[in-house]
Structures are given as structure tokens and as C-alpha cells.
Amino acid sequence: MPDTKYEISETRRDEFKVIMEITKRAAVFNEKEVYTVTELLEGYEEGPEESGYYFLSCRAVAHPERNAEESKEVRPGQVIGYACWGPRQLSGNGYDLYWICADPAVHSKGVGRALMNRVEDEIRQRNGAWVVIETSDTDHYAPARRLYERCGYTLAMLLKDFYHDGDGLCTYTKRLR
């Protein structure tokens, strides 16, 4: 389905709750990781320029061609995914994509890719050169890694057992200019 089904803009304060719900529903994240999103949202609320944490919400828009089956799943305006990104401290050109998360109800429908494109646009507008994404090398995160690879990211570093024994760190990078 085309990206035009979605609308992406800065996360609003009244969307924090649904963002936490999506995060919990995503099931790949453990309790500590879910808590991290709370901290990132707090930083965003205080001010992204100070905290370095920017949030974007992806919302469903009314679609004339949508059939009844789809309409049941997602109502117009509903938040169906989000991304958190920000500049790396002490770096003028480097940006981190901290979180990218689509509601399990809409997985494989382009929400992840649409958010990724938008984050990269934001970084390009700031004349950024690099996007860095850290993720796990476990099977659990294989769909996330596939998304990054489809979006043109390269596995630049792999540190086996970094998070825990059997759970390594994958650092994906993409040069934007």
C-alpha cells in the first residue's frame, strides 16, 4: 500500500499514552526497554533541542478505497507507529535512530519504511551525514534488521554477546550525503 495512507508529523502530548501502548504491544521489547521509551518521551516533552530526543507519529488517514475489513482494524487519525531520533552529542553530522515501532496490527504495510524515510528527511534538512541504528542480533529482531537493510542500511559493526551472552549488538549505518 502506498505511503499516502499515512500522515507523519511531530508527536503530540496527547499521543504519549498510545505510543506506550504500541510499544508494549510490539512484544519484542522487554520491560527495561519499554521504560526507556518513557524516559525518551520525558526528554521530548521537556524540549527536543535540549534533550536531543525527537518523536514523530505516524497516523492513519481516511482512505476512500479502504475496504470494511481494514477499516475495522484502524480508524482515521489513529497512531499506528512512531520513531524517536536525535543528533549525537558533540557531533554535527551524526544522528541516532533510537526507536522505530509500528503497531503490530499494521505490520508489513509500510509504516516502518514511511517513518524511516521521514526521519532521514528531517536529518537531511539539518545537513546530517550519518544515521546510526543499534539493534540486537537475536532472531527476535530479524524483522527489524530486514527493515533496515531494505532501507539501505549497512551492518557496520557486530559485537557478539554485547547486550547479554547470546544477544549481540548490531550497528547499522547509512550515509545520507
Binding site for its own copies (CB under 8 A): 32-33, 36, 88-94, 129-130, 132, 156-157, 159, 161-165, 169, 171, 173, 175
Question: What CA–CA distance (Å, rounded) separates 115 from 135?
Answer: 17
Q: Which is nearer to its own copies, 88 or 124 (CB)?
A: 88
Question: What CA–CA distance (Å, rounded) separates 102 from 11?
Answer: 14
C-alpha cell at 90: 558533540
At its nearest, how many Å lie between its own copies and the CB of residue 90?
A: 6
* Residues 13-41 as b or e (16 or more Cβ within 10 Å = b): eebbebbeebbeebeebeeeeeebbeebb
At its nearest, how many Å lie between its own copies and the CB of residue 157?
A: 4
* Residues 60-88 as b or e (16 or more Cβ within 10 Å = b): beebeebeeeeeeebeeebbbbbbbbbbe
At its nearest, how many Å lie between its own copies and the CB of residue 94?
A: 5
Q: Which is nearer to its own copies, 13 or 177 (CB)?
A: 177
Question: What CA–CA distance (Å, rounded) separates 14 from 33?
Answer: 22
Q: Which is nearer to its own copies, 70 or 163 (CB)?
A: 163
Q: Which is nearer to its own copies, 76 or 152 (CB)?
A: 152
- Helices 31-46 and 16-25 cross at an angle (nearest 10°) of 160
At its nearest, how many Å lie between its own copies and the CB of residue 109?
A: 28
Amino acid identity of residue 5, one-letter, is: K
At its nearest, how many Å lie between its own copies and the CB of residue 3?
A: 29
Q: Which is nearer to its own copies, 105 or 159 (CB)?
A: 159
